[in-house]
Amino acid sequence: MFYVKETINDSLEVKVEINDENVFCHCPVCGREVSVNLEDVLGDGRGDLFSTSVMCEDCSREMMEVGHGNGSKAEC
C-alpha cells in the first residue's frame, strides 16, 4: 500500500492510501481539478511525480485541435 502522510501537529498525523480514485492534480493551463490514474500517466516509466502534469479534457482537446491546424479555441 502506498500512502501520503502529513503531520498536522505533534499529536496528529494523517495517512491516506493512494488508490485509483483519490489522486488529482490541477490542469497547468486552466487550473481545473483533474482526476489522475497514476498507472496511465506514469506506467511507462518515463515520467515522475515532480515534473509531470495532466491537462483537463477541454485543454487537451484544444491543444490537439490547434496542433492539427483547426485553430479554434475551446473555453476552459
How do the pLDDT tens digits run along the chain, 76 residues long? Answer: 889 999 999 999 999 999 989 999 999 999 999 999 999 988 898 888 888 999 999 999 999 998 766 555 444 4
Asked if 26 contacts 20 with a C-beta cutoff of 8 angstroms, the reply is no
- Could you tell me the pTM of the whole model? 0.71
Nearest Cα to Cα of residue 60 among 31, 27, 23, 37: 27
Grid cell listed for 3? 500512502
Pick the CATH number of 3-67 from 3.30.160, 1.20.120, 2.40.50, 3.40.50: 3.30.160
Question: Which pLDDT does position 75 carry in this prediction?
Answer: 47
Question: Which pLDDT does position 49 carry in this prediction?
Answer: 85
Question: Which pLDDT does position 66 carry in this prediction?
Answer: 85
Grid cell listed for 6? 502529513
Question: Which pLDDT does position 62 carry in this prediction?
Answer: 93
